Amino acid sequence: MQTSISFLSSAYSFDKTIEQINNSIASAIHVDVMDGLFINHVTHFTKEQMQILKNSPKPKEIHLMTLHLKKYIDLFSHIQPEYIIYEYEATVNHKKIINYIKEKQIKAGIAVGPLTDINVLIPYLKNIDMILVMGVIPGAGGQAFLKQTVDRVIELQEIREKNHFSFLISVDGGINEETIQLLNNTKLDRVVTGSYVCKSPNFNEKIKNLIGKIK
């Protein structure tokens, strides 16, 4: 199982947090981007922080919790991410947005909120590289993991297997060593975790704890 680390809620400075993620066994850096429109929270990145992210050796995935998607795709494509993931609920022009991301030689992902039916994703799955299943309502860190997320992951896996699709399935929100056990038998591809790792004195220990819970 791959792990992607969100630095939104950390015990350390931005620079130190990114340094520790880069030096860890994590698979990727998860960059949460919020505009105050799609959700109430806003994230701000300085030019220096954007440069640090661009120079980071770890692969990066951008998670856009925004409206005006093309604007943010343009902005964050400059830090050379592996994936740009947008919220399904943020647009009705999915084919255009997916193509816009891929035209930049970046893999495209869709995040799906807990209240959205998984089946609405089916028309786009053959062209998607990742589905990010939200285990919480998007926007605020520290929320409790929603147990119905497990059934949603299994449903997606069944759709993928039946149709021979190749997208990764990732889960974001409320992930720690207790909630990860609920996903134990799902053969999950990736999890996003934030404060569980970034508020710890030992990033690798926490990441290993998560990986060890998935069979």
Q: What is the DSSP string of 164-209?
A: T---EEEEESS-STTGGGGGTTS--SEEEE-HHHHTSS-HHHHHHH
The arithmetic mean of pLDDT across residues 140-151, rounded, is: 81
Own/partner long-range contacts of 121-124 (Cβ < 8 Å, ≥24 apart): 121/88, 121/156, 122/159, 123/94, 124/94, 124/95, 124/98
User: Which band of pLDDT confidence, cut at 50, 70 and 90, is reported for residue 140?
Assistant: low
The arithmetic mean of pLDDT across residues 178-187, rounded, is: 89
Spans of all domains in the chain: 2-213
In whole angstroms, give the CA distance from residue 16 to residue 131.
Answer: 29
Class of the domain covering 2-213: alpha beta
Q: Is 97 exposed, middle or buried (0-12, 13-18, 19+ CB in 10 A)?
A: buried
The predicted pLDDT at position 80 comes to 97
In whole angstroms, give the CA distance from residue 100 to residue 91.
Answer: 13
pTM confidence score:
0.95
The arithmetic mean of pLDDT across residues 24-42, rounded, is: 94
The predicted pLDDT at position 40 comes to 87
The predicted pLDDT at position 141 comes to 55
The predicted pLDDT at position 139 comes to 62
